Amino acid sequence: MIQKKVCLLGGFAVGKTSLVSRFVRSIFSDKYLTTVGVKIDKKLMAVDGHDVTLVLWDLYGQDEFQSIQETQLRGTAAYLLVVDGTRPATLETAHDLQQRTERIVGTVPFMVVLNKSDLAAEWRLDDSAVATSFARSAGVVRASAKTGDGVEAAFVTLTRAMLAR
Amino acid sequence: MSEAFLEQLYPKLGFIVMQRADSGEFVLLTKAPGWFADAAATAAAGGPATLGSTLPFLEHLRTEADRFWWSGEDGVMSGEPFAVPGAAEEYLVRPRVVTVEGRKLLLLENLTGSADSRAILQAARDARLEHERAALRARDVRAPIDSIAQLASQLLDADLPPGAREAAQGVMRAVGSARAVLDRMVDPSRGPT
């Protein structure tokens, strides 16, 4: 059995916890409850004939109140950078986190998830520009933890990128 | 102090004490309080019921703590708080890894409700989120206002009859008022102008 540690990183209120809830438990809540401490979940996946257990580290949002610690990133095989598609400021946070994470864990695979795709009328990101700015990512996908669109695909693509290494 | 005394003392202090067995599993040394049993039961739903596998953070701790335990020195290592899902609420625990006379102990301190830091953080982030949304809405409105201001400014540069000039000046004053309202939306500390 292959087991891989995957961290979810991003600014506050971008939907990291909601993405994990949707992916692991198929549930979603509209209520925003900020994460305090680190949440660890597991999900067994079958990708391209491999059984892979993803150990998902849902880290609290990065901002002036809380900052990601090096010890939390240790041993990370891949990470999801989560951006709120309705809040451009969260893209800057994602860029900062990506650079910081790469300094700590090296060039492991990562995906960029543009979350809240259900809020199409409030969307404020140019997806192709985001993809260009994260050229080394395994992919940039729109997703919605609320509807579930794109969530499974993001984790599958990331797992595939891990297995390909 | 006797082991029986410590078994009673630790739960009163809000600690759960476990020992790492040679098999790698954690063995409870104190009676598990309700919140821990609740978290373990919630995590175990649909899965095998060993502590390490039902509460994934324990599995991580075993790896991290082993680095410390195998050093063979007595001491204490404090870790980051972990959020542990329960049936009714989420629990926050801070792990402490201890070696005493060769015994590899894991102490979990229940921080849930011990401080209102979560409430403070939640309030700060709610306020920040609201501020961000207000700034985005203001930016949406500012773009057409800037276009109106530009047009009015071009009119004022032209040779206008007196009535039309007054009207264009009125537009510019209205634009200034609208911008002030937007500024206050984004930064209420500016107050009324």
Separation of alpha carbons A101 and A105, rounded Å: 6
A:B CB pairs within 8 Å: 61
pLDDT in tens, chain A (165 residues): 899 999 999 999 999 999 999 999 899 988 888 888 889 998 999 999 999 999 999 998 878 777 777 888 988 999 999 999 999 999 999 999 999 999 999 999 999 999 999 999 999 999 999 999 999 999 999 999 999 999 999 999 999 999 998
Contact with chain B for residue A35, Cβ under 8 A: yes
pLDDT tens per residue across span B54-98: 788 887 777 778 877 887 666 677 777 888 877 778 888 888 888
Question: Does residue A61 belong to the interface with chain B, where contact is any CB pair within 8 Å?
Answer: yes
**Cβ neighbours around B88 below 10 Å, total:** 8
Q: How far is A35 from chain B (nearest CA, A)?
A: 8
Count other C-beta atoms under 10 Å from residue B28's C-beta.
Answer: 13
Query: What is the distance between the alpha carbons of residues A136 and A139, in angstroms, rounded to a whole number?
Result: 8
CB contact under 8 A, B82 and A12: no
Nearest CA in chain A to B122: A34
Q: Is the ipTM of this complex over 0.90?
A: no
Question: How far is Cα A113 from Cα A84, in angstroms, rounded to an integer?
Answer: 8
Burial class (CB in 10 A: 0-12, 13-18, 19+), B20: buried
Query: Which residues from chain B sit within 8 angstroms of residue A35, using beta carbons?
Result: 83
Q: Which two tokens stand for residue B19?
A: 């020992």
